[in-house]
Structure 1
Amino acid sequence: MKQTFKKRLKKGVFYLILLFIILFVFRIIYGYTEYPNNNIQESDLFFQEITSTRVNYASKKYKINTVSNNAPAVIDVDQKYEKIATVNTKSSEFEREKEILDKEIKRQGAIIQFEQNSGNKGYRRLQLLIGVQPEKFESLYDSLSKIGKVQSKEITKKDKTNEYKQLNAKKESLLKIRTSLIELKSKGGKIEEYINLENRILSIEEELQGLGVQLGNYDEENEFCTIKFSLIEGTENKIGLMHRIKVALGWTVSTYLQLIVILFFIAGFVYLALLILDKLNLFNSIIKNLKD
């Protein structure tokens, strides 16, 4: 009996120690993979403001094999999409990194669409909105990710094919309406009706001009992908091993104790529930014996 109890005790202690080690290792790994988010929110606000006034689109043409009328067919697809990368970096060698950045942008044939320089020496910040040809997007993104110490980075891609088709459909509809109104104007009529037709035609012309600007962003000669890049001057975030161990140990102890308390209450609740069920079964058994 004592040997069985000792085995169970050793087994329970082993699992408790294993749980502690798993939590500790998890926190250490998390500390190495998580990027600090200092100054990132300010960069995001800047890019949100300028991207509302400037968009870049690209296209990709490919074929899809399908079946039409029980016969194989090939469909040509012209996809329109928006691809945006965001790279936030930090460096204590601001001037040197900026020179590398300028050379890389020129080498890839990219263009700077927006630029903002701010801050005094030691606290400078450079933020760029870069337009790059789709085929050079990945190459430039990889190069910029090697500048300074990366604080955060991501790539997003959105399909814009339906929006492009809707703009074209709206343009065709407005052209037909304008043609009809011009024909009505040639038939003559009252002066008021003529003025109303002129105003309506003018309104449609303005809408067509707006659509022309929007559709112009999709033209092949204007095809670009976007890279939002920010370079912040400052000491790179370098966290020592002992500090990581200290933080991980503190978090592990706190989380471990919370889990133990939760498990204790769950075990107590289950024990009480089983005890109540056992009492009920005993009570039912006594009533049954009395009836018999």
Structure 2
Amino acid sequence: MKKTLKKRLKKGVFYLILLFVILFVFRIFYGYTEYPNAVVSSNTFFEEIASSRVNYASKKYKMKSSINNSQNVINVDQKYEKIATVNTKSSEFEKEKKSLNKEIKNHEAIIQFEQNSGNKGNRKLQLLIGVQPEKFDSLYVSLSKIGKVQSKEITKKDKTNEYKQLNAKKESLLKIRSSLIELKSKGGKIQEYIELENRILSIEEELQGLGVQLGNYDEENEFCTIKFSLIEGIENKIGLMHRIKVALDWTVSTYMQLMIILFFIVGLVYLILLILDKLNLFNSIIKNLNS
């Protein structure tokens, strides 16, 4: 009996130690995936220019489809918007800025918007870069090597339906304009003529706006976007001992919380079982008295 109890106790202690080690190792690895000196990026600059400049690209491919048990090949012309965001930090601001301009030139990209702010020692450079779709990935990787990356992401949105809707709207407006011009040639009252002219003018303005929007989708204007921020500052490098200390503090705190929760759960289960046992005993006594 004593040996069995000892064995169970050893097994229980082993599992408790194993849980502690797993939590500690998890926190150490998690610390390396997070950026302790992450920059809270100010997107004000990019938000201000978002409505004034957009870049779209297209991708043509063939897709097989089965209609009425027959294999058909459909040509798909996808329109999409691809945006990458890279936020970096460096104590060698001028050196990194030169590397940045070199990479932009090598990839034949263009700077569409630029903002420089701050004094020496606390400078910030923000760029909106347009790059050809086939060179997007290469430039993104190159820019990710500049300075110490604080955060980065890539988003891709399909714009095919929006492109089709704009074209459909344009066709509809062209038909309406043609009908109105035809009506105008038939003559009529001066007031009606003026109203027709105003309506035609309004449609012309809408068509001009649509022309600008559709112009962004033209093959000659096809670009993907990279939002790049370079911040001047000292990079905070965290040593191994500090990481171990932080991980240990977190592990002890989390472990104690788990033990307290486990203790309360076990206590509650024990209490419920005790109550049920008492009820069964009470019911058996009543049965004996009745019998």
TM-score by length of 2: 0.96
For residue 125 of structure 1, what is the aligned residue in structure 2?
Answer: 124
Q: Aligned pair in 2 of structure 1 residues 263, 221: CA closer, same or farther (>3 Å)?
A: same
For residue 59 of structure 1, what is the aligned residue in structure 2?
Answer: 58
Q: Take 1:272 and 1:49, find their aligned partners in 2: how far apart are those partners? A: 62
How many residues were matched structurally? 291
Q: Give the secondary-structure state (helix, strand or coil) at the position aligned to 1:40.
A: coil
Task: Give runs of aligned pairs for residues 258-269 of structure 1, distance below 5 A.
Answer: 258-269=257-268
The unaligned stretches of length 5 or more in structure 1 are none
Indicate the larger mover: 224-233 or 178-187.
178-187
- Are 2:248 and 1:249 aligned? yes
User: Which residue type is aligned with residue 156 of structure 1?
Assistant: T
Shift, 1:250, TM fit = 0.9
Q: Give the secondary-structure state (helix, strand or coil) at the position aligned to 1:61.
A: strand
Indicate the larger mover: 276-285 or 170-179.
276-285
Q: Take 2:113 and 2:64, find their aligned partners in 1: how far apart are those partners? A: 42
Task: Give runs of aligned pairs for residues 262-281 of structure 1, distance below 5 A.
Answer: 262-281=261-280
Q: Take 2:51 and 2:242, find their aligned partners in 1: how far apart are those partners? A: 42
User: Which residue type is aligned with residue 34 of structure 1?
Assistant: E
For residue 82 of structure 2, what is the aligned residue in structure 1?
Answer: 83
User: Which residue type is aligned with residue 275 of structure 1?
Assistant: L
For residue 22 of structure 2, what is the aligned residue in structure 1?
Answer: 22
Q: Give the secondary-structure state (helix, strand or coil) at the position aligned to 1:151.
A: strand
Q: 1:47-94, CA deviations, whole angstroms, 9 ceiling, x for partnerless residues? A: 222222211000000001122333221100000000011111111111
Q: Take 1:286 and 1:193, find their aligned partners in 2: how far apart are those partners? A: 102
Q: Is the 8 A contact 2:38 2:151 kept in 1?
A: no
Same amino acid, percent of matched pairs: 84
Q: Give the secondary-structure state (helix, strand or coil) at the position aligned to 2:63.
A: strand
Q: Take 1:252 and 1:207, find their aligned partners in 2: how far apart are those partners? A: 62
User: Which residue type is aligned with residue 8 of structure 2?
Assistant: R
Q: Give the secondary-structure state (helix, strand or coil) at the position aligned to 2:226.
A: strand
Q: Is the 8 A contact 1:87 1:227 kept in 2?
A: yes
- Are 2:206 and 1:207 aligned? yes
For residue 12 of structure 1, what is the aligned residue in structure 2?
Answer: 12
For residue 3 of structure 1, what is the aligned residue in structure 2?
Answer: 3
User: Which residue type is aligned with residue 92 of structure 2?
Assistant: E
User: Which residue type is aligned with residue 88 of structure 2?
Assistant: T
Q: Take 1:194 and 1:25, find their aligned partners in 2: how far apart are those partners? A: 81
Indicate the larger mover: 245-254 or 221-230.
245-254
Q: Take 1:59 and 1:107, find their aligned partners in 2: how far apart are those partners? A: 23
Q: Take 2:288 and 2:44, find their aligned partners in 1: how far apart are those partners? A: 78
For residue 100 of structure 2, what is the aligned residue in structure 1?
Answer: 101
Shift, 1:252, TM fit = 1.0
User: Which residue type is aligned with residue 156 of structure 2?
Assistant: K
The unaligned stretches of length 5 or more in structure 2 are none
Shift, 1:290, TM fit = 3.7
Q: Is the 8 A contact 1:216 1:222 kept in 2?
A: yes
